Amino acid sequence: MGSYRACPMNCRYCSLGESWGLVKKEGEFNDQEVIRIAQKYVEEGIRWIVLRTTQFYSPEKIIALVGKSKKP
């Protein structure tokens, strides 16, 4: 997860849709926070991780973040 925002697209399967009213505080994890969280999951034995963002997050940023996350 990179960004956490209420999203006007309101996809039925997604908890970030603003219609549900579940997002009380919006924010965005920086690269180091994302990498730290991913490392924690890896250390606990997780085998794959899905990075999710809202539609507001730049595809270029997520591509760069995936590259950084893969480095040991």
**Residue 58, interface with ligand SF4 (CB under 6 A)?**
no
**Residue 3, interface with ligand SF4 (CB under 6 A)?**
no
Residues 36-55, interacting with ligand SF4 (CB under 6 A): 54-55
18: number of Cβ within 10 Å: 13
Looking at 2-10, 24-32, 41-49, 58-66, which segment touches ligand SF4 (CB under 6 A)? 2-10
**Residue 22, interface with ligand SF4 (CB under 6 A)?**
no
**Residue 10, interface with ligand SF4 (CB under 6 A)?**
yes
